[in-house]
Every structure is written in C-alpha cells, then in structure tokens.
Amino acid sequence: MAQLPPVKIKDDDREDDSDLSPFFGIEKGAVLQEARVFNDPQLDARRCAQVITKLLYLLNQGETFTKMEATEVFFAVTKLFQSKDIGLRRMVYLIIKEISPSADEVIIVTSSLMKDMNSRTDLYRANAIRVLCRITDGGLLGQIERYLKQAVVDKNPVVSSAALVSGFHLLKSNPEIVKRWSNEVQEAVQSKASLVQFHALALLHQIRQNDRLAVSKLVTSLTRGTVRSPLAQCLLIRYTSQVIEETSANAQAGDRPFYDYLEGCLRHKAEMVIFEAARAITELSGVTTRELTPAITVLQLFLSSSKPVMRFAAVRTLNKVAMTHPAAVMNCNIDMESLISDQNRSIATLAITTLLKTGNESSVDRLMKQITNFMSDIADEFKIVVVEAIRSLCLKFPQKYRVLMNFLSNILREEGGFDYKMAIVESILILIREIPEAKESGLSHLCEFIEDCEFTYLSTQILHLLGNEGPKTADPSKYIRYIYNRVVLENATVRASAVSALAKFGAAVESLKPRILVLIRRCLYDNDDEVRDRATLYYNYLQQGGEQEKFLFNGLDVPLVNLEQSLQSYEASERRFDISVVSRETKHQPLEKKTPASKKAAKEATQKGYANGHLTTSPSDAYEKLLNSVPEFAGFGKLFKSSPLVELTEAETEYSVNAVKHIYPEYLVLQFNCTNTIKEQLLEDVSVVVDTSEAEDFVQVASKKLASMPYGAPGQAFVAFQKPEGVLSVGKFSNILKFRVKEVDPNTGDCEDEGYDDEYQLEELEVTAADYVLKTVVTNFRGAWDAIDAENEKVDEYVIGVRESLQEAVQAVTTILGMQPCEGTESVPSNARSHTCLLAGQFIGGAQVLVRLQFGIDAQKQVAMKLTVRSDDPAVCEQVHEIIGSA
C-alpha cells in the first residue's frame, strides 16, 4: 500500500471550519503549554476550565498522551483542589477520570477526594464517589466501603445515584464488595426519588441475576405496586417478562403468571411504561389473541401520536406481531395507511410492510399507488424489505398478480444495487413458478430487464430461465431477439448462457430450428473458448437430431443417484450397459447410513479435533497432543498457533486432502489430513512432497509418511521446516500427494499383493504474516491501550485504493493482519464516510499488540487509512507497518 501524501488545507477551508467548531485547529503541544495556568498563584477559574475542556476534547478525539505528559497534567490538576469554584471542581473530577492515574499517583488525590466525599456540598460528594470508584483499587475500596454504603441510602438523590452507578462499574472488578451492599440497595429501591429507584433496581437485579429464585422473589415483591419511577417500572416489566418465560413452561395450561401485572401497566400514566408493557405482551411465547388484544389497542393509539419516536416504536412492534398474528393487527390498518406519507422514512417503510402483510385483496390497488411514489425516497435495504413483502402478498392473493408484477417490473428498471435487483428478480421467478398465469408477463418483463442489465449473474440466471420456460409459451419466437442480442452485446459468460438458451429453443420448437442453426453458426468463431465450444456442440447435435438431441436437451429420466449405483455395480463385459434397466424410483438413503468417505465428512471429522482417530474436546489440545506424539517434532518447543483448515482438493474428488499450518518459534509443521474416497483402492506409503522454491526461508528438516490409507479412514502426513527465529517468514508451497495404489475387491475386501506408484497434484498452500499472530480478546481496549507505554507507538498513513465500501476495506485489512476485532468495531454503519476499527493480538514471541485503524472514504470511493500501533515490543510495531506496506 502506498504511503498517503500530506493534505494541504486551504485558508478558506480553515476559516469555514473555525466558524463551525471552537476546537478547530487546537494542537496537543499548545494545550499542554496552556496547562501551565494550573500552577499560577492566583488561579483563573474560567481560564482553567477552558484548558481542561480542550484536554478532554483531545482525549475523546483519540489523542494519546505520553506517560510523562499525563503525569505532568495530573499533578498540575491536583493543585486546582484549592479553588472553591464549583464549575472548575466538576471539570477537575472529569479530567482525573479520563487521565486515570497510575496506582502510585492515585494516593496524591485520594485524601482530597475522601475529603470531598464527606463535604457538606452534595455535588462534591457525588462526583468524588464516582471518581474514587473509578481510579482506586480493591485495597482502598475496602477502606471506603462504609462511606459508600452510607451514600447508597443518602437522603440526597444525586449522591445516592452516584453510589449506585459506581456499584455497577465495581461489579466487574470487585463483585464481592458490591454484593455486601444488598441491604442498602434493597432500601434504596423504596426511595421516592425516580432516578434512585431506577438505579437501585437495576443494581439489585445485577447482584441477584445468577439466582433464579432470588430474581423471582424480587419480581413478586415489586409487582405489588411499590415501584413508582417510570424508568424503574420499565425495568421491572423486562424482569417480569424474563420470569414469565422461565416459569411458563412449568405452569398449567392457560395459566400465565404475572400477566395481570403486565396488562395493568397498559393503564399507566407514563407512555414509556405503557409501550414497554405492550411490547412485552406481544413478545410472550405462545401468546394468544385474547392476550394480544389490549396490547394491540394501545399500540394503535400510539400510531397517531405527535411524537415520531412513539409512532416508530408502535409500528415496529406491530410489524413484528404481523409476522405471527396478522389478523390481530388488521384493525390498525387504517391508522397505518396514514403513516405511508410520514416524513420519517423508517416509519413509512414499516407501515407499508405491515400493511402488505395484513392487507386484504381489495386494498392491494390502493397500496400499490401509494408505494410507487414512496420507493424513490428510501435506501436499497428498505426497498428489499418492501419487495419481499410484495412477493408474499402476491402469493397470498394470486388474482392480483398483474398489478404486483407490473410494480415489480417498473422498479426493476430503476436504479439500484445488486442485492436490490436480485431480490426483485427472485420475486418474479417465484411468481412465475407459483402462478402459471403470470409466466408470460413475467418472462416479458425479464427480457426487457436484460436489455440493460449490468449484473452478469442476473443475466445468466434469466437466460437459463428463458431457455427452460420460453419454448413452452404460446409464442416462443418473440424471445429469440432478446436472447440473441446478448450474444452480440454482452461479455463471454453471458454470451455462453445465451448460446445454451438458443439451443434449447431449437431443440424444443421444430419450426424454429432452422433459424436457431443460423444464429448458432454465427457463434462458431467467437473470441471466447467456452462460447465456441458450446456453439459447436449444440450446432452438431441440433443438425443430427434424434436420440443425441433428446439426451442433451431433455436430460435424463432416471434419478442420478440410481444411475450412479448402477454404473458402480456394472462389470465390464461384452454386454453393453443398458440405461433402461435403471430404476426410475427415487431412493432416499437414511442419514445415519451415509458413508463418511466424502470430502464433507473428512472436513467435519478434522474440525472436531481428532488425534489418531480419537475425538477430543479441543482442536488445539488435539493438535498439540498429536504433534507431541511424533518423535521428530519433540524438540520443536511450545506450539504457538494452529491455523484453520485449508482445502487442497476440490469437492468430490478421488482423494480429499486439507492442511493445517502449525507455527513454532523456529519451525513450521504442515499437517496434511488425507481421506481415500475410492472403495476399490488401498493407498500405502502415502506422503506429501513439498516444493519450497517460492518459500526460500523454509528448510525442510523432517517428514512423516502415512503407512496405509484404506477407504473412508482419515489419516495424517506431516512435513516440518526450520525457519529464521524472529522473522515473519512467508511463502507459497507447491504440494504433490505420492502413494502406492493396490486394487481392492469391494465385495470380498481382498487386496492385491502388488501395486503401482501414483501421484496427485494438490493446491498451493501459502504462509502469510497473519499466521504469526494469535487473536486475543480485549474487553477494555481503552484501558489496555493506555497501559502500554506511548513511546512504543508507531503511526503512519496509507492509501488503500478504490473500494466498494468501508466495510470491504476493514475486512481486507483485518484479514491481512489476522488480529481480533474488539468492541464490535469490525462492523461499519451503512453509508458511513469514516470509521475506526480496534484490533488486538499476540505476535509470535509473546508480545502483545494493539492496533487502531482509522478509515475514510471520499466520493470517488478512494479509501485512506491511518494506522496506529502500540506494543510491548517496539520491533513488533515496525513489523505491523511492514505487513501493511508490503500488502
């Protein structure tokens, strides 16, 4: 990847941006210079607050401070505790939390924070609790636990909520301390303060969540009316639904515990509680129409709400209900029709798809008129949802196929991506198959579409359909022009499909054969081999006619499974094989009787982690145990990583071979899993010969043959190489499977004494830099990033090139590095112009490495990337950049 050139920013752009953001153009160095104001004898509270705001902005924009810089800022900030300005004190709390001082520095502010915990100013107390719980370790928490317990039941709701929220965070690191607060938290649940009750209930459930009986008792006690906070009420509804799902299986038929409580919440004065109760009722397993009715009624009222969020929530819930109980939602159709013109396109899309699921036959025409104007305003993913709903509606009311087919054909000619066009074409194909009356109109619409279709796959699928269905229509000749245009105007793949479709017309319609022969003869000199070969084959067969033509175009009238079995049992003799004796009945072989001697079975067996034929619970343990059992590999040291399976043969070939790459610090072991799928052969002295001409860093030091490979029994052959230590050696290996073949009588199992040597060419196997990286899961990436010295950091910028989307670029770079995406950052939001991806891994040798990838894409789909790497070993940072630079 090329290095990104510096971008020159025009002065005019700087002036425009400065009007938009007060933080435009600030630099870390300048802000650190400004931070000296913290040391002034006479503190300027307003100016100090502005500097802290800039520091917080830099931190939240991903700017990193070195250890020395962070320490200097921290010690300077601690001097601000002498100020009595409340606003500045709040900023001090924020910056201390963001900097997260080390254990030896925390003691500097502990006394000040503990003093604030006991202050008469409630704002100081609440913020001091949050900061102390964030930066202190378990030892200090034990000393202040008494204060935290008191804070949980404090009369001031701000202090109480601060302590409860801190308890949430402490549950992850010090759960035992928080569990000792149960009595205090239970008391806080009865608080009259809305936010305190909400936080207390959430924390109490977290403490008891692993005890099903305790959760059930909690729900039972609180559903009697002691919860007043709307937020807490919503939480209680969710916990109640959980208990209902867990206990309904054991309840008597028709008896659903706590349902009366959920129904009672539908009459609550808070909208959020009403909606939460309605949603919970609709999601109950096995919910009946009687139980649904009150929930549907309140959701119908929300459809006419003045608040967009309530309309969206109601229509989305009704959309889900319509999938299982469409009749229950039909009463809401009139209200939902008014939402088709809603300014929020998401609401309109959900309303349309719900109407299509629940509407009746008389409403189809009216819906189609409304949807036509709507389709141009929404994204492709919403259009696909609408298309699928229309397809279902057409199958529900086949008499309306003309209206719905015309709608599909109109939107097929509009702009759209592959997935959208694919959904439309698939819908038309299903309608053609399920509704015979729709065949001719559907084929005509598809013919018009391929005249201007930019997607090769869709063109070939439609041509295949035309070849099969076109000759069966009343006027087959009208499709010839559309098909032959593809021969003249399209790429080789489409031309080949068009030739096959033309030939089917010539074979099926005798009156068209002379014209078809003329057209196919013009294809005999095509530039592409595939087109020429097909044209030659079809031209000769159409000229000869008779049985050959029937065999080629009409297919076989016997099941292929039966034909295969008959051919396998046929013994070569003067008697010719007679296809007429093959059974026409389809035989279904039970799954449990299927032989494992296939590529799929061999792959599944290997993936389960077998070692010498014995299944183990862990593939990595199985590999290590297997390798340690081979004397030649005993001195290779600790196994660092084993790769996933790499297939080296095509499906359903004579021999199934896949490989696993085992990485050691100084060695590479290739494990070849081999399976013989031919009953009549026994393979002996099986080995894999590996050519390292394209992998010069690797020197072969050992190999292990497979003595015997009978039919259906998987076995392993190994080849070991030595490589330079500390170097990410890469290369390609060419592989040949060599063995001795002995013929076996499948009936008796007898084997010939003598055999012959043979070999089988395998696919190439490549070792990449990603094979030297072990994926590691990091739950707190920010904390792990800050724990690594910022001096061990390397940053550079690269041009990725033109990509269809940022998601494609993220996937490509992640695959190259072979590291584990963190915190769900591997997924890019749709239509995003920039994205940050976080990766974690361990390099061979044990060095931890963290990567921050910052992507951006412009209007021309040119993708640029900023790569920031931190590692315990500075050399690893260099290696990561070398991997990207050479990719």
Instruction: Tell whether 614 is covered by a domain.
Output: yes
Instruction: Tell whether 802 is covered by a domain.
Output: yes
Burial of 868 (0-12, 13-18, 19+ CB in 10 A): buried
Residues paired with residue 734 on neighbouring β-strands, in sequence order: 691
Residues 758 and 651 in one domain: yes
Query: By three-state DSSP, how is residue 287 classified?
Result: coil
Highest mean pLDDT (candidates 21-30, 578-587, 663-672, 780-789)? 663-672
Helix (H) or strand (E) holding 849, with range, is strand 848-857
Residues paired with residue 718 on neighbouring β-strands, in sequence order: 671, 704
Residues 616 and 668 in one domain: yes
pLDDT, residue 2, reads 47
pLDDT, residue 563, reads 78
Q: Is the pLDDT of residue 781 over 70?
A: yes
Separation of alpha carbons 671 and 834, rounded Å: 42
pLDDT grade, residue 868 (50/70/90)? very high
Question: Assign residue 453 a region: left if phi > 0, alpha if psi is -120 to 50, beta otherwise?
Answer: beta
Rounded mean pLDDT, 297-310: 90
Nearest-CA neighbor of 47 among 37, 36, 55? 37
pLDDT grade, residue 608 (50/70/90)? very low
Handedness of CA 801, 805, 811, 817 (dihedral sign): positive
CB-CB contact of 877 with 870 (8 Å): yes
pLDDT grade, residue 593 (50/70/90)? very low
* pTM to 2 decimal places: 0.51
Residues 753 and 729 in one domain: yes
pLDDT grade, residue 376 (50/70/90)? low
| Token pair in block for residue 276 | 């939460």
CB-CB contact of 655 with 675 (8 Å): yes
| Token pair in block for residue 431 | 């309608």
Instruction: Tell whether 364 is covered by a domain.
Output: no
Instruction: Tell whether 879 is covered by a domain.
Output: yes
Highest mean pLDDT (candidates 154-168, 323-337, 619-633)? 154-168
Choose between 653 and 139: higher pLDDT: 653
Helix (H) or strand (E) holding 143, with range, is helix 138-152
Separation of alpha carbons 216 and 235, rounded Å: 14
Q: Amino acid identity, residue 566?
A: S
Residues 501 and 544 in one domain: yes
- Could you list the residue range(s) of the whole structural domain that residue 753 is in? 610-767
Three-class SS of 649-715: CCCCCCEEEEEEEEECCCEEEEEEEEEECCCCEEEEEEEEEEEEEECCCCEEEEEECEEEECECCCE
Residues 851 and 810 in one domain: yes
Helix (H) or strand (E) holding 217, with range, is helix 212-222
Q: Is the pLDDT of residue 627 over 80?
A: yes
Q: Amino acid identity, residue 660?
A: V
Choose between 453 and 598: higher pLDDT: 453
Rounded mean pLDDT, 45-51: 90
Instruction: Tell whether 836 is covered by a domain.
Output: yes
Q: What is the pLDDT of residues 465-508, one digit of tens each?
A: 888 888 888 888 888 888 888 888 888 899 999 999 998 888 88
pLDDT, residue 276, reads 92
DSSP 783-844: HHHHHS-TTSEEEEEEEEEE-S-HHHHHHHHHHHHT-EE-TTTTSPPTT-SEEEEEEEEEET
CB-CB contact of 427 with 388 (8 Å): yes
Find the CATH number of the domain harbouring 753: 2.60.40.1480
Nearest-CA neighbor of 623 among 649, 597, 645, 604? 645
Residues 755 and 790 in one domain: no
pLDDT, residue 231, reads 92
Residues 757 and 785 in one domain: no
pLDDT grade, residue 619 (50/70/90)? low
Separation of alpha carbons 641 and 844, rounded Å: 9
Question: Assign residue 62 a region: left if phi > 0, alpha if psi is -120 to 50, beta otherwise?
Answer: left
Cα Rg of the chain, angstroms: 36
Q: Is the pLDDT of residue 42 over 50?
A: yes
Three-class SS of 234-270: HHHHHHHHHHHHHHCCCCCCCCCCCHHHHHHHCCCCC
Q: Amino acid identity, residue 475?
A: D
First to last CA, the chain: 6
Instruction: Tell whether 193 is covered by a domain.
Output: no
Q: What is the pLDDT of residues 78-89, one digit of tens each?
A: 888 888 888 888
pLDDT, residue 556, reads 61
Residues 680 and 719 in one domain: yes
Instruction: Tell whether 495 is covered by a domain.
Output: yes
Find the CATH number of the domain harbouring 809: 3.30.310.10
| Token pair in block for residue 567 | 């051919």
Separation of alpha carbons 87 and 127, rounded Å: 12
pLDDT, residue 879, reads 86
Please state, as a whole number, how many other Cβ atoms lie within 10 Å of the Cβ of residue 725: 12
Residues 6+ apart with CB under 8 A from 689: 735, 736, 738
CB-CB contact of 532 with 522 (8 Å): no
CB-CB contact of 80 with 805 (8 Å): no
Q: Is the pLDDT of residue 550 over 70?
A: no
Calculate ∠ Cα 705-706-712, nearest 5°.
155
Find the CATH number of the domain harbouring 552: 1.25.10
DSSP 623-636: HHHHHHTSGGGGGG
pLDDT grade, residue 669 (50/70/90)? very high
pLDDT, residue 555, reads 59
| Token pair in block for residue 215 | 């959760």
Q: Is the pLDDT of residue 776 over 90?
A: no
CB-CB contact of 739 with 715 (8 Å): no
Q: Pick the last residue of a domain from 738, 767, 796.
A: 767
Residues for the chain: how many in total?
887
Residues 748 and 843 in one domain: no
Instruction: Tell whether 180 is covered by a domain.
Output: no
Q: Amino acid identity, residue 800?
A: I
pLDDT grade, residue 733 (50/70/90)? very high
Q: Which of 92-106, 634-648, 677-691, 799-813 has the lowest mean pLDDT?
A: 92-106
pLDDT, residue 670, reads 93
Buried-state track 797-820, b at ≥16 Cβ within 10 A, e below 16 = bbebeebeebbebbbebbebbbbb
Residues 626 and 509 in one domain: no
Q: What are phi and psi of 654, to 5 degrees?
A: -60, -40
Q: Pick the last residue of a domain from 740, 767, 794.
A: 767
Total domains present in the chain: 3
Residues 683 and 822 in one domain: no
CA dist list (Å): 511 to 346, 506, 516? 54, 8, 10
Rounded mean pLDDT, 262-278: 90
CB-CB contact of 398 with 435 (8 Å): yes
Three-class SS of 863-877: EEEEEEEEECCHHHH
Rounded mean pLDDT, 132-157: 81
Q: Pick the last residue of a domain from 706, 740, 767.
A: 767
Residues 625 and 735 in one domain: yes
CB-CB contact of 386 with 375 (8 Å): yes
Separation of alpha carbons 688 and 705, rounded Å: 8
Nearest-CA neighbor of 97 among 778, 782, 777, 781? 782
Separation of alpha carbons 858 and 374, rounded Å: 29
Percent of the chain at pLDDT above 90?
Answer: 10
H helices of 470-528, in order, are 480-489, 492-508, 513-521
Q: Amino acid identity, residue 309?
A: V
| Token pair in block for residue 694 | 């394209």
Calculate ∠ Cα 825-830-833, nearest 5°.
80
Q: Is the pLDDT of residue 13 over 50?
A: no
Burial of 69 (0-12, 13-18, 19+ CB in 10 A): middle
Nearest-CA neighbor of 793 among 733, 735, 868, 858? 868
